[in-house]
Amino acid sequence: MFALGSMLVYLVIAFALGLLAGRKRSFWSVSEYAVADRGLGFIVVWFMMGGTVFSAFAFLGGPGMAFSQGAAAYFVPAYLALGILPWYVLGPKVGRIGARKNFVTLGEFVGDRYRSRALTVLIGVISVLAFIQYLTLQIKGMAFIFSILTEGAIPYWFGALLAYGIVVIYVASSGVRGAAWSDVLQGALMLLVAWAVGFYLVNTLHDGPTDMFSAINASQPDFLTIGRDGSPMSAMAFFSVILVSALGFLMWPHLFTKSYTTTEKRIKLTTLAFPLFGIFLVPVLFVGYAGIGVVAPDALGSADELLPYLITNELGASGWLYGLIGAGSLAAAMSSSDAITHGGSVSFGRDICRALKPDLSERSQIWIMRLAVVGIGAAAYWLSIFGAAGIIALLVGAYGSIAQFVPAVYGALIWKRGTAAGAISGMVVGIGVNYYYQIVADTTLWDMNAGLLGLLCNIVVFVAVSLLTKPVDEASAAEYRNA
């Protein structure tokens, strides 16, 4: 019961902070709801960017992947360090254009550059679908945490509903500011818990990291390498998933639009400081390695359950440790859920509804966004309860879709010949290839990540069709290239 009490206290604090963040702010302003009137500070942006990716993967998918796939799990810190780097140059340019044109979404940015409402709507639809997929990952994580750490006292469906219901309320009420300030609390807590739990388990189950890795290497040669006979992942699969994730990182609309929320100086500072989150993930992966040789793979319903299983079955941990891990795990899942839910609601309201009906009043847009929080949340909740995909599959699959924005976004900033027809054609082909290899085909070409295959096809089609169709006027293209 101590564990349950600790998690409930944490939820109350997160709920209160999320609601208080929106006090004395305009309830009917799209700029306030979507981008906090472009005034978030460095620390808040750093925690929000980091908390968004330090998700349910951190305490569930990360240990599970390290346990089942060995060295392949290190793709996560690798892509986090690489994926943020383009923001140093990309972010200030996007921020300047967004402030000048009053943009709050990625779809508006791309649609305006190519002078295409259809392109804005297409980006909105792809974004919302990917957000639902990514959000399902987080809700699954919340449900696992409550169900396992309370030993079934809180059932799977109710744990997900309780934790995510709180996110829905404070996001709908306070917008991006509520998500941002909640992420400061959640980010600090989950980083503290990650390091404490990671090293506690390694030193309790083994005699430290050196002995742990030596034992793994002795029992499973090449499990901690990439591309060898005993490796769970080929070199092509490993490097292609890093590449597509790194390229797709800033294409997530809720990350891309952080360029609109702050100053150029803060963007650059955040870019330089952000890779620290990759370092913070290392002890989380150690949890997975600590379970090798201790937990039989068939003892788990899925690898995602490893951390809760270790705590409840191998350590006989006390209630305070249950509560600490539960609160940290919820913080990781909720810090992503709020940003994803907010991003999906803004994309739905601006990229789809406003693009289709440009004369929507600001009050109507706000109502649509707040209702979309509930709708997107309901869809993701249903998938989390009834869907079968695991946390890693959901994460990688969502990145494969979002990475298809890369040609259109970079083309907008560096290539004057890019056209709407090229961007739309490339995006449709890329999405189609990605989902074909994810859902229909048993294997991919050369063992390459499905999202990267889609992106390569996307680039070829984007360039070819753009060269065959009429570009926008030179002045409009130059406005983006020279921003």
Of the candidates 181, 154, 200, the residue with the CA atom closest to the CA atom of residue 334: 181
Q: How far is residue 272 from each of residues 108, 221, 251, measured CA to CA in Å?
A: 27, 37, 19
The structural domain count of the chain equals: 1
- Strand, coil or helix: 448: coil
How much of the chain, in percent, has pLDDT values that exceed 70?
93
Q: Which of 63, 58, 83 is nearest to 138 (CA)?
A: 58
The secondary structure of 40-55, three-state, reads: CCHHHHHHHHHHHHCC
How many angstroms separate the CA atoms of 426 and 434, rounded?
12
Q: Share the mean pLDDT of the chain.
A: 85
CB 86 within 8 A of CB 377: no
Instruction: Please give the residue range of the domain that contains residue 260.
Output: 2-386
Q: How far apart are CA 97 and CA 115, in angstroms?
A: 15
Whether 50 is covered by a domain: the verdict is yes
pTM attached to this predicted model: 0.86
Helix, strand, coil proportions of the chain in percent (round to 5)? 80, 0, 20
pLDDT for 52 beyond 90: no
DSSP 216-240: HHHHSTTTTSSSSTT-SS-HHHHHH
Closest CA to 360 of 26, 22, 30, 25: 30
Model pLDDT for residues 426-480, shown as the tens digit of each residue? 999 999 999 888 878 888 888 999 999 999 999 999 999 999 999 998 888 899 9
* 455 is a domain residue: no
Structure tokens at 147: 């169900």
pLDDT greater than 90 at residue 116: yes
Instruction: Give domain status of residue 285, yes or no.
Output: yes
Question: d(Cα 471, Cα 116) in Å, to the nearest integer?
Answer: 11
pLDDT of residue 392: 52
Is 186 among the domain residues?
yes
The answer to whether position 482 is within a domain reads no
Query: Is residue 97 one of the residues assigned to a domain?
Result: yes
Is 59 contained in some domain? Answer: yes
Here the CATH number for the domain that contains residue 35 is 1.20.1730.10
Contact 404, 435 (CB under 8 A): no
Residue 114, in any domain of the structure: yes
